[in-house]
């Protein structure tokens, strides 16, 4: 019911406000973001957002918890599914998913926000680290172990692999969002993901064994 008039059942309000808050926070940064702008973008007055959230910081925390929950769940799913059959395909899938997510400004907004604000909110940083990063690390560890067992991966350090998968995705995103700096030839997300997967799997040095893929 899109009542143009005053809301009767305003249970959607908190999410509307959080959507608006996320976009303003990402654009302006948390400190420079004005609650009045958030309100305007959500179609309310400033006073009204304080009916739903006790403070600006509470909106930030709610956003972070939302995002962390979703990411942690995704990582947990990766762990529980595992990839004993085809670790390479699983790795390619993860990379494609990450590049796709990072390329979409809406999806990458919350992680970007966390990345830029975490160090000033120690509890947010700790929450994200424990919920998301540790879980992601375990997911990578599982994937790597499955690959080694299947003989398709050689053993490598999990933290390094994590940084070698997430780092390029992160870099790709930050270069685009902060500097508007894009690859010259790799135009589509799928091309970026494939190039990353290939480089990660086969390495920079040529293979003496003829078979590469």
Site for its own copies in 151-170 (CB under 8 A): 151-154, 156-161, 163-164, 166-170
Q: In angstroms, what is the minimal distance from the CB of 103 to DNA? A: 30
* 206 belongs to the binding site for its own copies (CB under 8 A): yes
| Cα–Cα distance measured from residue 198 to residue 144, given in angstroms and rounded to the nearest whole number | 16
Tokens of 195: 């190039």
**Could you give the C-alpha distances from 38 to 19, 21, 62, in angstroms and in order?**
9, 5, 15
What lies within 8 Å, CB to CB, of 49 at 6+ separation is: 17, 35, 38, 39, 42, 59
Span interacting with its own copies, options 45-53, 59-67, 68-76, 119-127, rule CB under 8 A: 119-127
Residue 139, H or E segment: helix 134-150
* 171 belongs to the binding site for its own copies (CB under 8 A): yes
Site for DNA in 37-96 (CB under 7 A): 39, 43-48, 50-51, 54-57
Tokens of 127: 């929450």
| Cα–Cα distance measured from residue 115 to residue 109, given in angstroms and rounded to the nearest whole number | 10
* 13 belongs to the binding site for DNA (CB under 7 A): yes
What mask of x and - would describe binding to its own copies in positions 32 to 61, judged by CB under 8 A? x-----------------------------
Tokens of 119: 């160090």
* 163 belongs to the binding site for DNA (CB under 7 A): no
Tokens of 73: 């769940």
**Could you give the C-alpha distances from 42 to 19, 20, 97, 119, in angstroms and in order?**
8, 6, 30, 28
- Exactly one of 4, 9, 12, 208 binds its own copies (CB under 8 A); that residue is 208
* 122 belongs to the binding site for DNA (CB under 7 A): no
* 121 belongs to the binding site for DNA (CB under 7 A): no
* 187 belongs to the binding site for DNA (CB under 7 A): no
3-state secondary structure of 4: coil
* 73 belongs to the binding site for its own copies (CB under 8 A): no
Query: Which residues form the interface with its own copies (CB under 8 A)?
Result: 27-32, 88, 91, 114-120, 125-126, 128-129, 133, 147, 151-154, 156-161, 163-164, 166-172, 174-175, 177-181, 183-186, 192, 195-196, 198-209, 211
């Amino acid at each position: 019911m899109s009542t143009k008039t005053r809301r009767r059942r305003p249970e959607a309000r908190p999410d509307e406000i959080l959507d608006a808050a996320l976009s303003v926070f990402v654009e302006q940064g948390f400190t420079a973001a004005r609650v009045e702008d958030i309100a305007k973008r959500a179609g309310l007055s400033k006073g009204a957002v304080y009916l739903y959230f006790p403070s600006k910081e509470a909106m930030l925390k709610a956003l972070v918890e939302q995002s962390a929950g979703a990411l942690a769940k995704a990582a947990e799913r990766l762990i529980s599914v595992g990839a004993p059959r085809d670790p390479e395909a699983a790795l390619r899938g993860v990379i494609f998913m990450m590049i796709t997510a990072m390329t979409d400004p809406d999806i990458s907004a919350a992680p970007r926000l966390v990345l830029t604000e975490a160090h000033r909110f120690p509890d947010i940083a700790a929450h994200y680290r424990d919920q998301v990063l540790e879980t992601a690390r375990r997911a990578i560890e599982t994937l790597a172990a499955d690959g080694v067992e299947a003989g398709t991966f050689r053993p490598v350090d999990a933290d390094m692999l994590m940084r070698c998968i997430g780092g390029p995705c992160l870099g790709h995103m930050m270069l685009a969002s902060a500097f508007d700096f894009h690859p010259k030839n790799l135009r589509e997300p799928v091309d970026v993901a494939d190039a990353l997967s290939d480089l990660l799997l086969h390495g920079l040095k040529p293979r003496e064994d003829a078979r590469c893929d």
